[in-house]
Chains A and B, each alone.
Chain A
Amino acid sequence: MTTPLTMPSVEAIDLWKRYGDRDVVQGVSLAVERGQMLGLVGPNGSGKTTTIRMVLDIIRPDRGTVRLFGGRISQAAQAKIGYLPEERGLYKGQRVLPTLVYLAELKGLAHAEAQTRAYEMLARVGMAEHANKKVRELSRGMGQLVQFAATVLHRPSFIVLDEPFSGLDPVNARIMKEVMGELNQQGTSVLFSTHQMTDVEELCDNVVMINRGATVLNGPLLDIKRRYADNAVYLETAAPFASPASAVEVVGRGRGHLIRLRPGTAPEIVLCELLDAGVRVDRYELATPSLEEIFIRIVGEANA
């Protein structure tokens, strides 16, 4: 079964889940297009993991619909998914290679093929020499890389990674990001949840932000940043300059300056004013907030 190019890998519509007397997920919707990398961000306990589990049919939503590759969740669809859960673990008493082979066979690979791919994947993440070690002999980071290898070795069309970089040192995190990038380049869709906003900014095209179980942001990262941008520009100049008429405030940062504009002033006006005043401008860009700043602003407002 091939997935049409236009069809989202996953589409979750209005998911709800209640535990006890608390709605832990309240109407969350998201879609991951083919070849897209979507970041699911939110504070701890915001409902990210529950949303992911519903998307993967590990738990059933109380309400809402999930479509995988345009259809209902089936065994065939399940076989095309790779999942790295937040709570990571492998069979501690078993050896690395047989564990990977077993998990790949559960995803539909034949034994021999699973074995070949397991070796390849272990080599790719730098773990080939540990293939015959027992899982309990590995460090935590090594265990995570092995589990990541298990997640992707059956070459899924859609991978779901829940807090993939948590607990990884920078070198291993880089390896994982490289593999994610390679798979994404080959057309694999990626949904990953994190509370590390820098990872989302580095890797994702689209973002869904949830807080207390509800969606607070959903869309392309650039659009969101523009939407939350202050009316400000960032520029670097060769020499100091007088505050232009369109500015409310100029904050100097060495050669760089953040200029907050009067309401209603278009950003290019300040550039014209400075050029007219004979200021040499070396760098000019719209000042957009980081995702972390947006996150803190939204969550802070919601929790206030």
Chain B
Amino acid sequence: MEIKRIATAGTLESSDIQITIAPGNNGLQIELQSDVIKQFGAQIKQTIIDVLTNYGVQNAQIKAVDKGALDLVIKARAIAAVQRALEISEEPRWEVL
């Protein structure tokens, strides 16, 4: 799936994560900002990659600013952002949720 527009989901408040997805041409490139990047950076990135992969997105630039979000929050924000970026928010893909 091709990214149709740049989209954001989430906030910068405590326990949340803000994820922005933009078109890319070189795989899934994630730039992550987090206070716990050493401990959980790889895991946070993997959660986001899994969501995008489930939606069939192969190329995208992703920016994530983490404020200590739990895994399910990261997943929820990634889903919201990718649905907006693919312009399918009105017809969510239940099978990948």
Does B bind A? no
